[in-house]
C-alpha cells in the first residue's frame, strides 16, 4: 500500500513528540506540582518547541475542507463550515453543505446541522452575532456561482435557517462583524457584469435584513477587511488575480456611515492577510506576486511602514497570539513553513514546522492561547486533518 510522505509524517509525529518528551524528562528533574504541571520551569511540550512553539496533530474533521469557514463559539468550541472537498465532477470539486464542531477538551469533531446551500470561499463570510449565533453569507457553489443568500446557525438547536439576502451576489467579497453587532460586507464582483462593486451593505440581526450603506471609494475583489479597535474598519488592496493589484486603502466609520482614504501600501496586494494588532495597528503580509515585504498600518497617522521580510506566501493564514505576536502558517509558496512576527522588535523568526503542508486552510486562536489549523490543500488534495500550535 502506498503511503504519501505527508501521511507518513502525520503518523510518525505523535511518536516523535513522545520520544522527545521522554528524553527531555530523562535529562531534567521532575517538574514541581506533579504530572501535567506547566510554567517557566516545567519541561512540558512547550519547552520542546522553544520560542518557535510546537505543532501537534489533533482530531481530524469529518469532511475534507479547503476555502472553508472557521469560527470560535462563545463556549470555546470551534465551528467549521462548508468549503471545497475532494471528489465531484471531473473539473469541479464537490462543495460541502456540512458543518461540524471541534471540542478542544476532547480533541474531537462532531457533526451539526447542514447548511441550506453549498458554500465555499473565496467570498464566504462567517461572523459571530451578539447572541452567539453564527452568520454565513455569500460563497460559491459547485458551479462557481456566487450566492447572495445568508443563513444563521443556532447553537441551541444546531440548525441553519435562512435570513435576509444581500442586495446582490458579490463574488470574492470580504466582510467583518462590527462592534455594534451588525455585519459589514464590502465590494466584490458582480457575476453578471463582471464589474467590481463600489458598494457595501450591513446585516442587522435584530431585523434579519441587509441595508446598503455609504459606498467605498473603490470597488475591490480579493481585498482584506479588518475591524479596528475603535470600531472602524480598514479595507486594503484588491484587484485581479493576474493584476493589477491595488495599493490603496480606506477606512469605514459605522458611526458616521462614511469612508475616508488613508495612506497607500508600498505594494499592491491580493490574496494577502491583514491582522489587527494588540496596539490598534494592522499588519499586512504576503499576497500574489511573491510579496515578501510585510507592512504595518498606524491608525494614528493613517500611514504604512515596513514590517520586515517574510517568505513569499498566498492563500495562507495569519493569527494574532495572546502575547501580541502574529503566527503565519502555510500558503502557496511556503506550504510547510510557519513564521512569527514580534511587534516588540518588528522582526520575523521561523516557527517550528507544521505537521504537514497546507494552503487555503483556516486557523483560529483558542481561549487557552493555542491555535487550531484545519483543512486546506495538501499533498493529497483537500484535507480533513487538523493540528494545534502551542506558543
Alpha helices for 51-180 (secondary structure H): none
d(CA 207, CA 203): 8
Write out pLDDT tens, residues 194-221.
Answer: 999 999 999 999 999 999 999 999 999 9
d(CA 18, CA 59): 17
* Residue 46 pLDDT greater than 80, yes or no: no
Cβ–Cβ < 8 Å for 216, 251: no
Write out pLDDT tens, residues 78-115.
Answer: 999 999 998 765 456 799 999 999 999 999 999 999 99
> What integer pLDDT is reported at residue 23 of this predicted model?
30
pTM of the entire predicted model: 0.86
Segments making up each domain of the chain, as ranges: 68-219
Write out pLDDT tens, residues 320-347.
Answer: 999 999 999 999 999 999 999 999 999 9
> What kind of architecture, by CATH, is found in domain 68-219?
6 Propeller (2.120)
d(CA 304, CA 341): 17
* Ranges 38-52, 224-238, 285-299: which has the least confidence: 38-52
Write out pLDDT tens, residues 180-192.
Answer: 999 999 999 999 9
Handedness of CA 29, 32, 37, 42 (dihedral sign): negative
Q: What is the DSSP string of 305-369?
A: EEEEE----BS-EEEE-TTS-EEEE--BT-TT-EEEEETTTTEEEE-PPPSS--BS-EEEE-TTS
> What integer pLDDT is reported at residue 1 of this predicted model?
37
pLDDT mean over 40-45: 27
> What integer pLDDT is reported at residue 188 of this predicted model?
98
d(CA 314, CA 335): 10
Amino acid at each position: 500500500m502506498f503511503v504519501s510522505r505527508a501521511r507518513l509524517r502525520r503518523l510518525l509525529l505523535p511518536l516523535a513528540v513522545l520520544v522527545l518528551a521522554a528524553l527531555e524528562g530523562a535529562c531534567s528533574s521532575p517538574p514541581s506540582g506533579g504530572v501535567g504541571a506547566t510554567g517557566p520551569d516545567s519541561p512540558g511540550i512547550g519547552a520542546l518547541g522553544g520560542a518557535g512553539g510546537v505543532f501537534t496533530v489533533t482530531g481530524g474533521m469529518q469532511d475534507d475542507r479547503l476555502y472553508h469557514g472557521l469560527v470560535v463559539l462563545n463556549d470555546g468550541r470551534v465551528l467549521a463550515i462548508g468549503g471545497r472537498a475532494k471528489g465531484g465532477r471531473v473539473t469541479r470539486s464537490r462543495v460541502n453543505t456540512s458543518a461540524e464542531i471541534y471540542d478542544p477538551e476532547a480533541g474531537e469533531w462532531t457533526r451539526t446541522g447542514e447548511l441550506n446551500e453549498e458554500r465555499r470561499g473565496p467570498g464566504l463570510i462567517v461572523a459571530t452575532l451578539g447572541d452567539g449565533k453564527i452568520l454565513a453569507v455569500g460563497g460559491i457553489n459547485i458551479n462557481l456561482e456566487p450566492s447572495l443568500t445568508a443563513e444563521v446557525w443556532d447553537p441551541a438547536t444546531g440548525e441553519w435557517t435562512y435570513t435576509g439576502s444581500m442586495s446582490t451576489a458579490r463574488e470574492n467579497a470580504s466582510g467583518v462583524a462590527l462592534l455594534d453587532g451588525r455585519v459589514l460586507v464590502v465590494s466584490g464582483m458582480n457575476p453578471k457584469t463582471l464589474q467590481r462593486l463600489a458598494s457595501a451593505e450591513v446585516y442587522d440581526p435584530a431585523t434579519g435584513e441587509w441595508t446598503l450603506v455609504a459606498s467605498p471609494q473603490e470597488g475591490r475583489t480579493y481585498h482584506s477587511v479588518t475591524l479596528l479597535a475603535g470600531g472602524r474598519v480598514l479595507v486594503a488592496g484588491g484587484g485581479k488575480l493576474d493584476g493589477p493589484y491595488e495599493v490603496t486603502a480606506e477606512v469605514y466609520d459605522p458611526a458616521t456611515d462614511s469612508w475616508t482614504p488613508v495612506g497607500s501600501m508600498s505594494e499592491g496586494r491580493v490574496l494577502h492577510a491583514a491582522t489587527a494588532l494588540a496596539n490598534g495597528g494592522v499588519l499586512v503580509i504576503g499576497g500574489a506576486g511573491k510579496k515578501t515585504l510585510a507592512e504595518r498600518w498606524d491608525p494614528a497617522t493613517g500611514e504604512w511602514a515596513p514590517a520586515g521580510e517574510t517568505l513569499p506566501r498566498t492563500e495562507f493564514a495569519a493569527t494574532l497570539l495572546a502575547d501580541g505576536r502574529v503566527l503565519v502558517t502555510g500558503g502557496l509558496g511556503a506550504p510547510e513553513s510557519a513564521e512569527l512576527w514580534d511587534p516588540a522588535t518588528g522582526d520575523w523568526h521561523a516557527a517550528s514546522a507544521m505537521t504537514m503542508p497546507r494552503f487555503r486552510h483556516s486557523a483560529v486562536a483558542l481561549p487557552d492561547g493555542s491555535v487550531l489549523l484545519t483543512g486546506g490543500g495538501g499533498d493529497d488534495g483537500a484535507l480533513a486533518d487538523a493540528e494545534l500550535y502551542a506558543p
